[in-house]
A and B are shown apart, each in its own frame.
Chain A
Amino acid sequence: MRYAYYPGCSAESTARDMHQSTLAVARALGIDLVEPKGWTCCGATAGHQTDRLLAVSLPAANLAKVQDMKLDMMVNCAACYSRMKVANHEIAAHSDIRKGVREALDRDYDGSVKVRHLLEVLLEDVGLPAIKRAVKRPLNGLKVACYYGCLLVRPPKILKFDDPENPTSLDRLVTAMGGTSLEWPSKVECCGGGLSLSRTDVVVELTGSIIDMAASVGADCIAVSCPMCQVNLDLRQQDINKQTGKNYQIPIVYITQLLGLCLGIGPGELGFEKLMVPAKRVLEKVNERA
């Protein structure tokens, strides 16, 4: 199993823990990840809110690099994943866009590089039986609210990732790791995404209702696979508590951090110390000292 791994900009800052744990888990499961040399930003939300050609060309620059590597692209950041797949779709469906991208990149790209999310690689290529066999320290019934957010599942016609209203990829992984995945209604609700700095009030409101819901179903933690969801839910709990007088302390962990623990990897290597809300109960559950 060999993939061109696109880390995305967050991997070098707010989501270093996601990046670290992705590399550690891949190593443990025999997944070979190669970073495309000179990878650049996908443009994120700011790109598509500003200009359509820019929103397609920025991901395309990376997709073209991966095409030269003759590998599939693997992405862990949900936002990058969505932008890459939308760019592929736009280029393949509209000849004028493809022409614009050719002009912008100074090379042609046809939109054909296969883009896979890490969860797809884990579930389809590695497979749950192999993951179960590799588990050394199970989650021992840890109650996990799996949170998918927006960009793993939308736009559904283009991404074709899982069920867009009730996805179960994360839940199936948690179950395979010996955890209890909780039924709850906020799996694909929005956290406010890129409005974190520009409309903090909106993000506090939206993350507040997601955290409320997770608490009401008795979650020990929320598992995510998107750096924006992680930062918003983790960093904003302080603000939610300040505004509402509540005292939420729900750890927001990357699925790769949970999986890494189960595979016997130490919490330091998985970046657990980087979480704003400490994941003490998670570590205790797998008998790992915080």
Chain B
Amino acid sequence: MITIKNKKNGSGLKQAVEEISGVDVSVCFQCKKCSSGCPVAKLTKSRPSEIMRQLHLGAGNELLESDLVWMCASCETCSARCPMGIDVAAVIDALRRLALERGASKQKGNVPLFNRAFLKTVETFGRSYEIGMITAYKIGTGKLMNDTEKFPAMLKKGKIALLPPRGGDRKTVKRIFRKCKESKGAQA
């Protein structure tokens, strides 16, 4: 059963999601194809079809705490299979962006931290740089030793580059990041 808490508290989430994603959430008729095809729905408390209905019924910021928001793998199966052509994955992307903007609480696994670490290396070097990204991510999570047993083998096989990437047009990429930050600031 879907229950809506804090209806008054968080009004505007539907509108904000629709503006960011370009999706009309009202057309969802709850066939649940998205939830049945979702690879992570068997592991999460919230399901894509429930999120769609909760948005429609006026749910607020509490929806940004749903575990699906950061566990979604962006596989886009939901969007591909929706009989109404709803881009469900774009709705989840919109919820992620809103969660970042509105400071929703951190969740297990820290996907936002990973994304920040990844994008920081792109901003710096023009291309992603695994060692830089993994270091920043692991320092952020405080779990330095997770997964490190795989490092030596990957280094030996040349599957991880020691030195930062060269040859990328760093100037253009730096400009892109700067302009995107400015444009976000202008919207806020």
A-B pair count, CB < 8 Å, reads: 176
**Chain A: number of interface residues, binned into ranges:** 35 or more
Contact pick for A198, options B80, B93, B114, CB 8 Å = B114
CB neighbours of A106 from chain B (8 A): 172, 175
Question: Which residue on A lies nearest to B184, using beta carbons?
Answer: A51
CA of A247 to CA of B52 in the docked complex: distance in angstroms? 40
Q: How far is the CB of B33 from chain A (nearest CB, A)?
A: 12
CA of A52 to CA of B20 in the docked complex: distance in angstroms? 9
CB neighbours of B184 from chain A (8 A): 51, 53
CA of A43 to CA of B154 in the docked complex: distance in angstroms? 23
Question: Which residue on A lies nearest to B94, using beta carbons?
Answer: A52
- CB of A39 closer than 8 Å to a CB of B: yes
Contact A190 B111 (CB under 8 A): no
- Please provide the chain B residues from 132 to 188 with a CB less than 8 Å away from any CB of chain A in the complex: 134, 137, 146-147, 150, 153-154, 157-161, 165, 167-170, 172-173, 175-177, 179-180, 183-184
Contact pick for B75, options A40, A190, A273, CB 8 Å = A190
Q: How far is the CB of B142 from chain A (nearest CB, A)?
A: 14
Contact pick for A58, options B75, B79, B157, B173, CB 8 Å = B173
Question: Which residue on A lies nearest to B75, using beta carbons?
Answer: A190
- CB of B15 closer than 8 Å to a CB of A: no
Contact A48 B80 (CB under 8 A): no
Question: Which residue on B lies nearest to A195, using beta carbons?
Answer: B73
Contact B73 A193 (CB under 8 A): yes
CB neighbours of B177 from chain A (8 A): 54
Known: A13-B160, A43-B122. A154 touches B79 (CB 8 A): yes
Contact pick for A104, options B20, B118, B179, CB 8 Å = B179
Q: How far is the CB of A116 from chain B (nearest CB, A)?
A: 20
CB neighbours of A61 from chain B (8 A): 169, 172-173, 176
12 further A-B contacts with Cβ under 8 Å, apart from A57-B179, A201-B109, are A9-B165, A14-B160, A38-B169, A39-B169, A40-B173, A41-B128, A50-B97, A54-B176, A104-B179, A104-B180, A105-B176, A274-B158
Which A residues form the contact surface with B (CB < 8 A)?
9, 12-14, 16, 37-41, 43-54, 57-58, 61, 65, 100, 103-106, 150-151, 153-156, 164, 188-190, 192-195, 197-202, 205-206, 231, 235, 238, 273-274, 276
Which B residues form the contact surface with A (CB < 8 A)?
20, 39-40, 43, 71, 73-77, 79-80, 87, 89, 93, 96-97, 100, 108-111, 113-115, 118-119, 122, 126-128, 130, 134, 137, 146-147, 150, 153-154, 157-161, 165, 167-170, 172-173, 175-177, 179-180, 183-184
The contact sample of 26 A-B pairs, CB cut-off 8 A, is A12-B127, A38-B126, A38-B168, A40-B173, A41-B168, A43-B119, A43-B122, A46-B119, A47-B119, A48-B93, A49-B74, A49-B115, A52-B93, A53-B180, A54-B119, A54-B180, A104-B179, A104-B180, A188-B77, A197-B114, A198-B109, A200-B146, A202-B43, A205-B43, A235-B154, A274-B159
